[in-house]
Structure 1
Amino acid sequence: MSHTYDFVVAANRLPVDRVTGEEGNEGWRRSPGGLVTAMDAVMRGRDGAWVGWAGDPGEAPAPFDDAGMQLHPVPLSEQEIADYYEGHSNDTLWPVYHDVIITPTFKRSWRGAYRAVNKRFAQACADIAAEGATVWVHDYQLQLVPQMLRELRPDLRIGWFNHIPFPAVELFAQLPGREEILEGLLGADFLGFQRTEDAGNFLRAVRQYLDLDVTGDVVDLGERQVRAAAVPISIDVEGLREIVESDSVQARAREIREQLGNPEKILLGVDRLDYTKGIRHRLKAFGELLADERLDPSKHKLIQVATPSRERVKAYMDLRDQIELTVGRINGDFSSIGATALTYLHRSFDREEMAAMFAAADIMLVTPLRDGMNLVAKEYVTCCADDGALVLSEFAGAATELSDAYLCNPHDIAGLKQQIMKAVDAPAPQRRQRMDSMRSLVSENSVQQWAKNYLASLAAAPKAPSTQAAS
């Protein structure tokens, strides 16, 4: 039998991206992102493996080691990428879980692909998990894995964490196969969510659609119990501080200010190009503030980074067109020769460049219409100057913790404009006080601490009586 592991992580993607070197030789590069950083810290010194898709259609590469992390690729065909990932995960579940900002699409063939891929992930975990191992499943793409895995390996300790919101019962009700998802999740011993409200939404759905007894945050299945609670995710505070405090990043931050003509205030937005992020609302508010002459395009500059995302999904193509039209209109109306009011960047940047932008920005605009957490808010708090200011949507999970931000309802453009101006006009001591409070909070709750808290909750979850694994 091949090697088995005491700790297995399952996520849609492996923590690496395939890269081609200058001489055409292929290799792997560690993906940026909080989850990868957290798991790195957790897996160090453990006998662990990561199960996920390698990013290319067709046959999966053989299992391999990357910087001491054992990676076990799961294959996906072109059709499965279209149906399971772009279809059911991102055109059915994602809209429903984000308050139906756009209308979800329901297709039975997509659900079938979702089920098949989840089964493949469950089998891959079952094959490499040691007796009594801990398996930590991540996110909305793999909601059926916990139950499928329990049927294959009842000896395992199984956890699941949702990185996005969990919808209110009234919205979840729309999903065909809603009971199947709830039953899939209840295969876990412990379910982690970003906010207490998300865990509450899940528990209400279980009570309503499965008619199970729920006491506090525990679901009683008779033969065992399942706990669902909030364990909000965070960032690698120390790693990011190290980057932002380096001489090269501080020099780049000064250079960014100079490139913009050393304005009085730099406003910054950093998002995936996604309709949940409220980019259009933010641009509308900024454009109106320029039109109202409450902001001066020679003194107040906005940088909007929109990282490409799901570019084959129609809703995302439409969004890109709308945003580019708005950017063009604002710059056409308010820019002067050689000095644009709004700098729009539709591409990805490395961690150093992002840290430099955070350090350069006086005001961060994080205005999602709905977000599980939004780590950009926490990254800005970690990187910015002591008198930086954060304008934050109350619909981001981060708002629960970062209550000293200038909180806004992004749907209310007048209210959003008011909060932006509050942040622009606030005296430096007030901004410092607010930032100091938020910075302390983020420092105490690093991504490493989040992983520890989650695994402690999983270890403490009620254990089912062990039975023989299914043959």
Structure 2
Amino acid sequence: MSRLVIVSNRVALPGEGAQRSGGLVTALVDALHQAGGLWFGSSGKLAETPSAPNVLEADGVTYATVDLTRADHDGYYSGLSNAALWPLFHYRLDLVNFTRRDFAAYLRVNARLADTLAPLLKPNDVVWVHDYHLIPMADELRRVGARQRIGFFLHTPFPSLGVLATLPHYIELLKSLCAYDLVGFQTIEDLTAFHDAVVRRAGGKVSADGSIRAFDRDLRSGVFPIGVDPDAIANMAARAVKSRTTRRLQGSLRGRQLIIGVDRLDYSKGLEHRFKAFASFLESYPVQRDHVRLLQIATATRSDVPEYRALRQRLGALAGDIAGRYAQLDWAPIQYLNRSFSQQSLAGFFRISRVALVTPLRDGMNLVAKEYVAAQSPEDPGVLVLSPFAGAAYELDAALIANPYDPDAVAEALQKALLMPTEERRQRWQAMMQILRRHSITAWRESFLRVLNG
């Protein structure tokens, strides 16, 4: 059996990864255990000068991490990756901040990571690279002589050509992607956008089976929608609903219906639009006032980035405005929390929520949508209100699909969800659970590696 090597921007070390990243980390670690693999990436720590990799062996898995210098971190991670690629891939051209210095750091760090990884590789290894931070990784590994099969999976959306072409040096990124043996995407829309760019701007050829010929390379491409472990989440939710934290939340509702949103504090999640849509809902359906509460959990992230600090301030002001307009002496319409909760607590919160609002402006997949469905009670499931711009909408079409740019449409979907009969809720939930079981996190991992190894 070939050894699996996973390469990601950050490595989930034993004891810290499962809490932070949930099912994705569990699935990858399971694969590493099966193949006796290696997980390689940056440590998240800063050093004065580049250093040798820090290696840890645990339960048959090797973890190798590299410390970055402040200049490398600022240019590669905060700069090109998150100030240029992240907003670009999420269609926020107004927030793209590209500099040649950052692009040079991005290439330099990928080259350094490849130089460090190459001596750790074995001839029969299969290398699986993850996400936009590491697009040049295969190119750099080929440069130092790596001949192993190398696959790449993009967790974010891949933008249409008109958006992609606004990025200077985008042809270089296309060429780097074509250095892989397999490139995987979340949705057919992402795959089609990649094919379009390869054909129209790189003179490549794409076959019906997803095979590509471009930049004197042959590679494969495909759609591999990432999933969750629905049965594990269901069991966790059934236990969590009895926990002190969930019972405390349940008691605070005093018989009211709970609408829940759980997101990282990021402009791609559409939280400002969501708050405005909720205000529209309260305005359009006054009978629902004092009968519902929106609990929005928005975990703070990238607090050193000005755009994120400004977003947090705007959301706080919006939440305050909604409370000021609609709250009563014994009822607050919105509860807005900038803190994180454990996976188990969230599963309990999902279980007692009548509606989940998952309305990103653009999202690669959005696993919260799938986790919410999996956490529901089969006898009395809640309703998922889902943006068509989340990758999950391609699979979970039994959800109520609502455009986040249309606050009235989201308000109507909320009203429909709250009034939906039990039998219809069950039918929609059962249809979505069938999909979650068929496209689980394990199926995602196995299908990608099967094609990469084929």
TM-score w.r.t. structure 2 length? 0.94
Of residues 209, 220, 227, the one that matches 1:227 is: 220
Of residues 149, 161, 166, the one that matches 1:157 is: 149
Matched, 1:109 2:98: no
As a proportion of its length, which structure holds more helix?
2
Give matches, 1:86-165, under 5 Å.
86-100=78-92, 102-165=94-157
1:32-55 deviations in Å (ceiling 9; x for gaps): 333211102211221201011112
CA–CA distance in structure 2, aligned partners of residues 337 and 378 of structure 1: 36
CA–CA distance in structure 2, aligned partners of residues 18 and 432 of structure 1: 37
CA–CA distance in structure 1, aligned partners of residues 32 and 377 of structure 2: 33
Determine the structure 2 residue equivalent to 1:35. Answer: 24
Determine the structure 1 residue equivalent to 2:249. Answer: 256
1:80-102 deviations in Å (ceiling 9; x for gaps): 22211111111101111111264
Matched, 1:414 2:411: no
1:236-270 deviations in Å (ceiling 9; x for gaps): 2233223212266466434322122221x110000
Of residues 312, 321, 326, the one that matches 1:320 is: 312
1:145-203 deviations in Å (ceiling 9; x for gaps): 01111232342000000000000000000111111101111111000000011111111
Of residues 267, 273, 277, the one that matches 2:265 is: 273
Of residues 53, 56, 60, the one that matches 2:42 is: 53
CA–CA distance in structure 2, aligned partners of residues 306 and 117 of structure 1: 31
- The letter of the residue matching 1:37 is T
Consecutive unaligned residues in structure 1, runs of 5 or more: 20-27, 461-471
Contact 2:265–2:312 (CA under 8 A) maintained in structure 1 = yes
Return the offset for 1:29.
7.5
Give matches, 1:374-413, under 5 Å.
374-386=366-378, 387-413=381-407
Of residues 276, 293, 309, the one that matches 1:284 is: 276
* Cα distance change, pair 408–62 in 1 and its aligned pair in 2 (3 A): same
Give SS of 1:246's match.
Answer: helix
Give matches, 1:405-444, under 5 Å.
405-444=399-438
CA–CA distance in structure 1, aligned partners of residues 321 and 74 of structure 2: 34
- The letter of the residue matching 1:43 is L
Number of equivalenced pairs: 447
CA–CA distance in structure 1, aligned partners of residues 19 and 38 of structure 2: 15
Contact 1:303–1:344 (CA under 8 A) maintained in structure 2 = yes
Contact 2:178–2:215 (CA under 8 A) maintained in structure 1 = no
Consecutive unaligned residues in structure 2, runs of 5 or more: none
Of residues 11, 14, 18, the one that matches 2:11 is: 14
Contact 1:392–1:408 (CA under 8 A) maintained in structure 2 = yes
Higher mean C-alpha deviation, range 8-17 or range 225-234: 8-17
